[in-house]
Structure 1
Amino acid sequence: MQAALEAVNNGRKIKEVARSFMLPESSIRDRLKKGEYYDPRLGRKATFSKEDEKELADHIITLAKTFFGITQQQLRKLAYEFAATKNIKHIFSREKGMAGKCWVYAFLKEILGSLCDFPEPTSMSRVLGFNKTEISLFFRNLEEMTEKNAYPAKRIFNVDETGITTVQRPGKIYAPKGVKQVGKITSGERGQNVTVVCAMNASGCSYIPPMFIYPRQRIKPSLKIGGPIGAQYECSKSGWINEELFEKWLRHFGKYISTTTKDPTLLILDNHASHSSLNAYQYCRENGIHMLSLPPHTSHRMQPLDVTFYGPLKAAYNRECDLYMKNHPYEKITHDVLASIFNKAYLRVASMDKAVKGFEVTGIHPINPNVFGDDDFISDPIVEGFTSENEHSIKNDISTEALSTHVTNQNRTDR
C-alpha cells in the first residue's frame, strides 16, 4: 500500500497502480483522500494513536513508581476520560464511563508488555522517608567518617534485627488441577515470634554469631541446643530488643571484633529507640565503635542485611521447618528446637558474596553516593485537579487531569 501511494504521487494513474499492486482502487483513493499513510492492520482502527498510547503508558508507569499504581477499573475509566477530553472518536461505554476489558488486555499486552502483579504493601513512612535529601546527608556523613578513620572493609559492619516464628510459611506445592483449597501441614495456625540480631561486615569474611531474644522470663538450657556456635541467648517480655539487650549485644559484638580506639570499627544500624541509650554510647566510645544511623524508614533500601541477607535466610528457614515437620509429623516446632532449625538455614545462607553484595548495592562500600538515581527518589506525589480534602481518594478516583501527575523533590519540612 505504501509503495502504491508513492507510485500515484509520482504521477502514475490510480487504475494502473491498482492493477500492478493488486489492490482495490477504492482503498487507494480513500487513503489519498484522507491522507492516511499508516501501516495496514487487521480489525478496526485503534482508538488511540501511538503517541496517545505512549502517554497513557508513561502515566501508568509513573503512578506505579510513586506507589499509586492504578487498578484495571481505574485504567478503564482513565482511558474513557482521556478520549473524551481530547475529543477522540471511540466506542467505549458512555453509560459506564469507561473503556472495555478487551481494550485493557490489548493495551497491556501491546504497550506495557505484561499484566500487573500484586503490589507489595509499602507504608507511607517508607515512601516519604526515602528521599534525596536524607540519603545525601547519610552519604555525606559516611564520607566524612571514612576520610577521617579510613575503615577497611573488614571493619565496616551492619547490624539489624529480624523476627522468626515457630509457624513457617509453606512454599508452593503440586496439587490436582481444579482443586480450590490446598493445604500443607504447619506447626500451628499462629506462632510466637523470636527476635534474631545478626551482623556482617563489608568484606564478607565475618558474621557475628547471632543473638536470640525469646518472649519469656528466663532462659533455659534447652533453648540453646543445636544453635549457632557462639550465639547469645536472651529474653524479654515482648520478645523484642530493648536498650538493655542492645547493650549486651554490643559487648557480644566487641568480643568478636576486638576493636580499639586506635583501630576503630564502623557500625551501621537503623535509628531504633533501643540503639540510642547513654550506656551504649559510652561503651562504643571507650572501645572504638563508631555508630552511623541510617535515615528513618529507609532500611528496605539502605540496610545491607535487609537487601541481600534476610530474604534468603527466611526462605531457607521455612524450608528447614518443612523438613522438620516431615521428619517429625506429630511434633510442633517449639522454642526448644527453633535455634537448631535456624542454624541449618543460617549456615547455608551466611556467605561472603551476600555480605559483599549487600554493602555494594546500597552504596556503603565501596562508597557510591550515586547508587540511587532520580527515579528511585519519590516524595510528595502531587496530582493536579485534586484538593487537599480529596487527595486521599486518588486510588479510587483517577481523573484525566491526573495525566499531568509529576513528582517533586522538594525538601519536606513536616518530618
Structure 2
Amino acid sequence: MPTTYKRKNEERAKWSAGSLKNAIECVQNRTLGVNEAARQFGIPKTTLKDRIKKGDAIKQHRLGPSSALGEDAEPKLHATHTKIANIWICTRSGVRLIWDFQLAEKLKLKHTFNKEGGKAGYDWLNSFLRRHPDISIRKAEGISVNRVTGMNCLSVKHYFTLLENVLTVPTCSQN
C-alpha cells in the first residue's frame, strides 16, 4: 500500500538549498572541482553535476511521485475541503471520495481515479489529508430520538419564556 510504504534509503536530499547554491558557485568560479565541492558541501556528485548542467539549482524539487490531480488542481480541492469544513458539514470519507471524483471530472483534470465506481481511492484521500493537515474529517454525533422530539418549537419557546421571567424578576441579591 502506498500509504504505509517505508523508504529503504532515507539519505536522499539531506543537503540544503543554500549548500547546493554555494557548491555550484564554487564550481563555476573554479575555486573547487566538482568532486571536492560535492565532498565539502555534502551533496552527491551526480546531483551536483546534473544541477550545474541543467542550471536549476534554485528550484525546489519534491521527492516522490506527483499528486494524482497535479500541482495546479490541488489548491482548488484544498479550498473546497476547507469550505466544507468551515460550514460544519460532517461527511463520511466515502462521500468525500465521490465529491473529489466529481470535482476532477468537472474541471476536466487528468486523474487515475476509478471511473466505474465514480470515486477517488482511499489511499489517495489519506495521502491528501496527510499533505494538508489543516483539513479533518469529522464524524457526526449521534442524537437520540428523544432529544430530537424534545427540541420542538413549543418547548423552545417555553424555555425562553421561563428564562426571561427568571432574568426580569428582581431577587434579594440584586439590592
What is the TM-score normalised by the length of structure 2? 0.49
What is the TM-score normalised by the length of structure 1? 0.25
Greater fraction strand: 1
Compare CA radii of gyration and give the structure with the larger one: 1
